[in-house]
Amino acid sequence: MSKTETRTPVLSVRHLKQYFVSGRGKNKLVVKAVDDISFDIFQGEVFGLVGESGCGKTTTGRTIIKLYEPTDGEVFFLGQLISAGILGNKDSIKAKRKEVAAEIRELKMTMKHELANTPDSAEAIKVDFKTKVDALKEKKVKFIEEQQIDIHRRKQTLQVDYDLMRNMQMIFQDPIASLDPRMTVKEIIAEGLRISGEKRDSYINTRVNEVLKTVGLLPEHASRYPHEFSGGQRQRIGIARALVVAPKFIIADEPVSALDVSIQAQVINLLNDLRVKLGITIMFIAHDLSVIKYFSDKIGVMYYGNLVEITSSEELFLNPLHPYTKSLLSAVPLPDPRYEKTRKRIVYKPQEVHDYANFPPKLHEIKEGHFILANDKEVEEYKKVLK
Amino acid sequence: MAREKHLHVENLTVSFRTTQGLVRAVRGVTFNLYKGETLAIVGESGSGKSVSSRTIMGILAGNGIIDDGKIIYEGQDLTKVDEEHYHELRGNKLGMIFQDPMSSLNPIMRIGQQITEGMMLNGKRTKNKIKKLYSEEKNIYFGLKRAKKYLKEDQKAELLAVKAGNSKKDAVTINSEYSAKVVKLKTDTKAAKIVYFKTKKAAHKTVRAELKAEKIRVAEEVKSVKATRTEKLSLARDDRDYTKVLKKEFRADLSKLKEEMKRFHKITKKEAYEKAIKIMNEVGIPQPERRFKQYPFQFSGGMRQRIVIAIALTASPDILICDEPTTALDVTIQAQILELINDLKKERNLSVIFITHDLGVVANMADRIAVMYAGKIVEVGSSEDIFYNPMHPYTWALLSSMPDLESKDRLTAIPGTPPNMLFPPKGDAFADRNKYAMKIDFEQQPPMFKISESHSAATWLLHPDAPKVDIPKIIKDRIERMLRESGEVSKDE
């Protein structure tokens, strides 16, 4: 663990928030799909993101690759800021304005009071008041200016740096819906190359054939249409499309959930080979813990927009601490009838387990490389469990 | 102990007509479903597991043909039952839960309506009573009517056999036999017809008499209620509030009687609502009264699957067929749904056919497991047999392709793809993808070899002359570990 810490991360996410707003006024509804998550992914690592459907893991992936604009927080890729939200800045400006207004009001009150007490030095008091207010206002303007500059800096990320972004690719969940049925396999795979400015047909052809071979398909498959392939082969096409621009980082969004068990093994083996051969860093999103455990080095467990536990995959299965992780682990079905007959499923009820009314939880490092979302009281309890 | 067979499928063969030719989806499947057990059918997509279950339900796609085989349920062969009579079985006796809860619910119909729809349609009580009274005679009559068609087909087949020179009989005797049979059949049919119409009339009469008696009873009760009303009202003439209360009570009494009368005739909306709420509670949908009026899109995936289960349960079937009910769901919800199905099975004493491709899911549910590949059952046994002593290479392959929580060894994926069922292979269908395949596997289909009373597998490896093959190491290790953990390692290992 300590070895990887010294390296610079390929991707680091800081306080990422993604809200979806619908309706206006009385009907306004804010869905906090991702609510303040932070993590790092290092070179050559597989980071698994696990959680039930609707917990925001896919949204996280899509926000990182800039399919959505984040509401708040920053995403650094290869050391460069690629996307950032401005809600935090806006909020702080609002807060500052309110604060300054309140201070001025207070000053006015004291001034009036003083005027009533000592009507002789009215002139001096007024001047004093004016200078104080001016200082405050100046401070406010300065602060807002600073924030505006920050917002400007963050908004710069709206323009996509194609050279950088082609290092990041995504594999989608549904191999049927994510391939255009009217395009041949070659067109599908070459699209990314063409968008990134490649014009030589000969190069594109060789590159497509190369990639097809890497994912275990044949060059003659290039002229066929997606419907002629089976589910596993379609997912291979999806992987080939991601690989064609030689990315350094891949977000795999439930690439095996829609596949049969036997085909699943093929795709997982393929991804594993790619990772060893090409040294690609992968962020692997899934809801199946057995797949995640098999494939990833580090696992983040997500629950309703929050990362509740991040740790190495061995550690997670040895010492699951967060009650939600425990409940997830207890739901994994195993091919062992005797064990299954005695299995007790743990049900996670957040209202009963946690008391976050007075002490909101924070991400604590409870052991080297083992982070958990908890408040101080719970941290003590977890520490006891670890010992 | 011999248990009661609930459903018996024998040599079922189903194919689909397509523009490219016949796709042989199911090729001679035989299995039993005993009362109160869960039978799991496991296999890859395209192995024919869904097709066989759909054949049992009688909802095969339009281009599907049942070539051969029998499905025996309560003494009748379901492959020969026509659509009209299937209505009485489907829902009432056989229930089905479909794979995708998104697409098996109607998006523009409220949930409550969808749950009660079946009840209301099947809920004409007097009509059903009449039908039940003469159903036996009706079946005999229509059976004879259908028999004529089969006779003709038989005759044609025999004549063809004569032409080809395969039969001992000659054409003349066949024709005379046929005409004799037809004459006999005609007289039988006539007699059956007379009996049928007689019983039908009698049934109408008896049920109508019952209805009349009920009507008279209710009318008398109404009368008595009215009599008490006038009496009580005359007593309480001066007390206004009391009169009001009394009137309300009487109104409730009268409407209750009216409802009773209606319910004798058919399932009323109110009754269906009550029943639906009860079932929704049973399958674990919170606040059923509120949920009753909502649309499917307002439900999450797990809740939607619960509704599908509720719909299947409204008619209280004996056999529940679950076609990959948890494939579209994630792990926690999957565990909930599996628990629910298990509980319902115990409560209602259902027999369940559970179809899935995930062996992990099955370990929890199944009493017996049938592994299917390319339209055939390749291994069948109790769940302990399949998980602790698998014999067929395909079962090995399925088991070893599952990622394990304990080990990080490379998964052994099954190479290649399932065979194209347009051209079913001559020998063992799994031979192409099987590293243990022998020469005979490509030439001849293996028969079912019996390993123990409950366990049998179709692979040539079990033939006495076959070379000894060890189970792949991954599975062997895993089984040993599993047995060790449950503290029951057998001594000779």
Distance from CA of B228 to the nearest CA of A (A): 55
Q: What is the dihedral of CA B389, B393, B399, B400, to 10 degrees?
A: 120
Q: Are residues A169 and A126 in the same domain?
A: no
Mean pLDDT along residues A15-44: 88
Q: What is the pLDDT of residues A39-76, one digit of tens each?
A: 999 988 899 999 887 788 888 999 998 888 889 999 99
Residue B381 pairs in a beta bridge with B369
Give the integer Cα–Cα distance in Å for B115 and A179.
36
Model confidence at B2, in pLDDT bands (50, 70, 90)? low
CA-based R_g, chain B, Å: 29
Q: Report d(CA B481, CA B490) in Å as an integer.
A: 12
B182 confidence band (pLDDT: 50, 70, 90): confident
Distance from CA of A240 to the nearest CA of B (A): 19
User: With an 8 Å Cβ cutoff, are A54 and B383 in contact?
Assistant: no
Q: Which residue of chain B has the CA closest to A345? A: B335
Cα separation of A86 and A84, whole Å? 7
Domain presence at residue A26:
no
Domain boundaries, position A353: 308-386
H helix and E strand count, chain B: 16, 12
Mean model confidence pLDDT for chain B = 85
Decide if A331 is inside a domain. Answer: yes
pLDDT confidence bin for A6, thresholds 50/70/90? low
Interface of B with A in 35-54 (CB under 8 A): 44-45
Q: pLDDT, tens digit, for every residue of A308-330? A: 999 998 888 888 888 888 888 88
Taking 80 as the threshold, does the pLDDT of residue B407 lie above it? no
Same domain, A149 and A177: no
φ, ψ at A309 (rounded to 5°): -155, 130
Residue A386 Cα, gap to closest chain B Cα (Å) = 21
Which residues face A286 on adjacent strands? A50
Give me the sheet containing B368-373, strands edge to edge: B94-97, B319-323, B351-356, B38-42, B368-373, B376-382, B456-457, B449-450
CA atoms within 13 A on the CB side of B251: 6
Residue A36 within any structural domain of the chain: no
Looking at the predicted structure, is the pLDDT value of residue A1 above 50?
Answer: no
In this complex, is the C-beta atom of B224 within 8 Å of any C-beta atom belonging to chain A?
no
Encoding tokens for residue A181? 């049925």
Strands B64-73 vs B38-42: parallel, antiparallel or unpaired: unpaired
Q: Would you call B457 exposed, middle or buried from its count of C-beta atoms within 10 A (0-12, 13-18, 19+)?
A: buried
Would you kindly state where each structural domain of chain B is located, as residue ranges? 132-265, 398-485
Give me the amino acid identity at B326.
Answer: T
CB A50 within 8 A of CB A253: no
Other CB atoms within a 10 A radius of the CB of residue A274 amount to 18
* Euclidean distance between CA atoms A338 and B388, whole angstroms: 10
Is-contact B341 B365, C-beta < 8 A? yes
Same domain, A286 and A173: yes
Give residue for tokens 């098999």. Answer: A294
Residue A239 lies in a domain: yes
Shared domain for A295 and A333, answered yes or no, is: no
Residue A2, helix vs strand vs coil: helix
Element (H, E) at A356: none
Residue B1 has pLDDT above 50, yes or no: no
Mean pLDDT in residue range B190-199: 90
In the predicted model, what is the mean pLDDT of residues B258-278?
88
Does residue A184 belong to any structural domain of this protein? Answer: yes
Give yes or no: residues A198 and A142 share one domain: no
pLDDT at site A300: 92
Instruction: Return the residue matching tokens 């024709």.
Output: B175
Helix (H) or strand (E) holding B396: helix B393-400
Percent of chain A surpassing pLDDT 70: 98
Q: Which of A125, A142, A158 is the last residue of a domain?
A: A158
Q: Token match 């977000």: residue?
A: A251
ipTM score for this prediction: 0.76
Contact call for residues B317 and B95 (beta carbons, < 8 A):
yes
Residues A294 and A169 placed together within one structural domain of the fold: yes
Last residue of a domain, one of A250, A281, A303: A303
Question: In whole angstroms, what is the distance from residue B273 CA to residue B262 CA?
Answer: 15
Phi, psi torsion values for A153, nearest 5 degrees:
-60, -45
The CA distance from B273 to A17, in Å, is 44
Where is the domain boundary, A260, A277, A303? A303
Q: Tell me, yes or no, whether A11 lies in a domain.
A: no
- A203 and A297 co-located in one domain: yes
Distance between CA atoms of B266 and A274, rounded to whole angstroms?
65
In this prediction, residue A4 has a pLDDT band, given cuts at 50, 70 and 90, of very low
Rounded Cα gap, residues A329 and A184, in angstroms: 41
Q: Structure tokens of B448? A: 């079912």
Interval A328-355: pLDDT, tens: 888 888 877 787 777 778 888 888 887 7
Best A230, A267, A272, A334 residue to mutate vs chain B (most B CBs within 10 Å): A334
The mean pLDDT of B161-178, rounded to a whole number, is: 80
Q: Are residues A291 and A176 in the same domain?
A: yes
What's the pLDDT score for residue B13? 92
Instruction: Check whether B405 has a pLDDT greater than 80.
Output: no
Residue B379: predicted pLDDT: 92
pLDDT one-digit tens code per residue, B288-321: 999 999 999 888 888 888 899 889 888 888 899 9
- How does pLDDT run across A186-195, given as a tens digit for each residue? 999 999 889 8
> Which residues of A have a CB under 8 Å from any CB of B?
52-54, 230-232, 260-266, 268-269, 272, 287-291, 293-295, 317, 327-328, 330-341, 343, 345
Q: Minimal Cα–Cα distance from A296 to chain B, Å? A: 10
| A166 shares a domain with A154 | no
Q: Which sign, positive or negative, has the C-alpha torsion B205, B211, B215, B216?
A: positive
pLDDT, tens only, B316-349: 888 999 988 887 777 888 888 888 888 889 888 8
* Residues A152 and A166 occupy one common structural domain: no
CA A217/CA A228 separation, integer angstroms = 13
Instruction: Please provide residue B424's backbone torsions phi and psi, each rounded to the nearest 5 degrees.
Output: -60, 140
Number of domains in chain A: 3
Structure tokens at B228: 């008490």
- What DSSP line would sit under B53-90, residue for residue? HHHHHT---TTEEEEEEEEEETTEEGGG--HHHHHHHB
Q: What is the DSSP string of A42-80?
A: ETT-EEEEE--TTSSHHHHHHHHTTSS--SEEEEEETTE
Give the one of B357, B403, B414 whose C-beta lies nearest to A294's C-beta. Answer: B403
Q: Confidence class of residue A2 from pLDDT cuts 50, 70 and 90?
A: very low
- Chain A residues closer than 8 Å to B44 by CB: 260-263
- Rounded to a whole number of angstroms, the distance between the first and last alpha carbons of chain A is 20
Q: Which residue has the higher pLDDT, A360 or B377?
A: B377
Chain A contacts in chain B segment 391-420 (CB below 8 A): 397-399, 401-405, 408, 410-414, 417
Closest among A175, A188, A191, A170 to A63, alpha carbons compared = A170
Give A161→chain B minimum CA distance, Å: 36
- Average pLDDT for B401-422: 76
Q: Compare CB distances from A338 to B362, B397, B486 and report the shortest one's residue.
A: B486
pLDDT at B181 over 90: no
A50 and A166 co-located in one domain? yes
A260 and B45 Cβ atoms separated by less than 8 Å:
yes
**Residue A10 counted as domain residue:** no
- Please give the pLDDT value at position B460: 86
The whole-angstrom separation of Cα A347 and Cα A351 is 12
Q: Does the residue A366 lie in any domain?
A: yes
The reported pLDDT for the residue numbered B488 is 52
What mean pLDDT do residues B119-145 have?
Answer: 83
Size of interface A-B (CB pairs under 8 A): 124
The answer to whether the beta carbons of residues A244 and A274 sit under 8 Å apart is: no
User: Which amino acid does the sequence have at A243?
Assistant: L
Q: State both tokens at A66.
A: 């800039």
Average pLDDT over residues B144-172: 80
- Per residue in B463-493, pLDDT (tens digit) is 888 887 777 887 888 888 877 776 654 433 3
Average pLDDT (A198-221) is 90
Domain match, A171 and A127 both: no
Model confidence pTM above 0.90? no
Weakest-pLDDT range from A110-124, A335-349, B206-220, B439-453: A335-349
Q: Which whole-number Å values give the CA distances from B312 to B92, B93, B267, B349, B360, in the listed order?
A: 9, 10, 18, 15, 25
